[in-house]
């Protein structure tokens, strides 16, 4: 497998300096800590990387985490590599500590659609990441619930796990609010019942209501009713 310097050289060859400057502000990383590779190119590179002869995930995980694209490459590689799901679960657990921003988190979650086929099996992992209580372990859990568990049968688990959100952390707060908003859009009555009884803080409830009211999928009457529930 290619060594760290070779991978960095490959990424530099795809660099877009204007995009780097713009993207560093969006993904909130210190200036100069990313290369500036657009996501379609990085996704394509990750998919090809895991198919190369001699791909070694242990070597990949040994790479330094000082570059945004390298942190993301580790996560994308786990998402894209074909392997038994039990093995993937373990590797997801190695990726979560690498997450240090919303972009790595959410882009990683977007590669894990396979979880939809193993939702019951993966639910204890979701609970584990909630219990870890860190900003991005919880962000990861809530975005995974949003992407893979948005079904009526999982609403009790979603509501229970939301009550454990450490919303003093900004990205946990935003992830929880986004999850609640999506519940409101898809399952309005159940979502409203949760809002009325929830022990979450006012700022998260209000953010969820605001995000839900921005959706074109709710009627004006529903949006007005949600507004009346703001704390």
pLDDT in tens, 194-214: 999 999 999 999 999 999 999
Same domain for 198 and 172, yes or no, is yes
41's enclosing H/E stretch is helix 39-51
Return the SS3 of 111: coil
Structural contact between residues 103 and 109, judged by C-beta atoms closer than 8 angstroms: no
Average pLDDT over residues 117-132: 97
The pLDDT tens digits for 41-73 are 999 999 999 999 899 999 999 999 999 999 999
Residue 105 is assigned to a structural domain of this protein? no
**Residue 7 near residue 76, CB atoms below 8 Å:** no
Would you say residue 159 lies in a domain?
yes
Domain-embedded: residue 107: no
Report the CATH number that the domain containing residue 127 is assigned in CATH. Answer: 1.25.40
Number of domains in the chain: 2
Q: Which of 100, 132, 148 is the last residue of a domain?
A: 100
Q: Give mean pLDDT, residues 173-185.
A: 98
pLDDT of the residue at 170:
97
Q: Residue 187 falls within a domain, yes or no?
A: yes
Q: Determine phi and psi for 134, rounding to 5 degrees.
A: -90, 165
User: By residue range, what is the domain housing residue 211?
Assistant: 112-231
Residues near 65 by Cβ (< 8 Å), separated by ≥ 6?
A: 71, 74, 98, 100
Q: Which of 49, 80, 100 is the last residue in one of the domains?
A: 100
Last residue of one domain, picked from the residues 71, 100, 129 = 100
Of the pLDDT bands very low, low, confident and very high (cuts 50, 70, 90), residue 3 is very high
Average pLDDT over residues 111-125: 97
Q: What is the pLDDT of residues 14-47, one digit of tens each?
A: 999 999 999 999 999 999 999 999 999 999 999 9
* Percentage of the residues of the chain whose pLDDT score is greater than 70: 100
231: confidence class by pLDDT, cuts 50, 70, 90: confident
Rounded CA separation 98/83 (Å): 20
Question: In this structure, is residue 191 part of a structural domain?
Answer: yes
Q: Does one domain contain both 123 and 168?
A: yes
Provide the 3-class DSSP secondary structure of residue 144: helix
Whose CA is closest to 146, among 118, 180, 170, 117? Answer: 180
- Does residue 130 share a domain with residue 96? no
How confident is the model at residue 224, as a pLDDT?
97
């Amino acid at each position: 497998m290619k060594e760290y310097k070779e991978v960095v050289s490959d990424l530099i060859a795809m660099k877009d300096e204007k995009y780097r400057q713009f993207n560093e502000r969006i993904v909130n990383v210190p200036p100069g800590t990313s290369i500036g590779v657009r996501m379609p190119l990085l996704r394509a590179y990750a998919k090809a990387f895991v198919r190369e002869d001699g791909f070694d995930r242990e070597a990949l995980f040994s790479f330094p985490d000082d570059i945004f694209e390298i942190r993301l490459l580790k996560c994308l590689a786990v998402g894209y590599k074909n392997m038994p799901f039990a093995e993937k679960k373990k590797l997801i657990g190695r990726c979560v500590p690498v997450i240090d921003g919303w972009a790595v988190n959410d882009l990683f979650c977007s590669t894990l659609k396979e979880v939809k086929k193993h939702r019951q099996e993966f639910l204890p992992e979701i609970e584990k990441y909630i219990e870890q209580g860190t900003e991005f372990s919880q962000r990861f859990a809530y975005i995974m619930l949003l992407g893979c568990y948005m079904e009526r049968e999982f609403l009790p688990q979603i509501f229970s796990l939301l009550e454990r959100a450490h919303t003093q952390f900004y990205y946990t707060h935003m992830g929880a609010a986004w999850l609640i908003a999506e519940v409101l859009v898809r399952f309005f009555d159940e979502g409203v019942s949760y809002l009325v009884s929830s022990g979450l803080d006012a700022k998260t409830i209000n953010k969820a209501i605001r995000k839900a009211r921005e959706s074109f999928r709710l009627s004006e009457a529903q949006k007005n009713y949600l507004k009346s529930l703001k704390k």
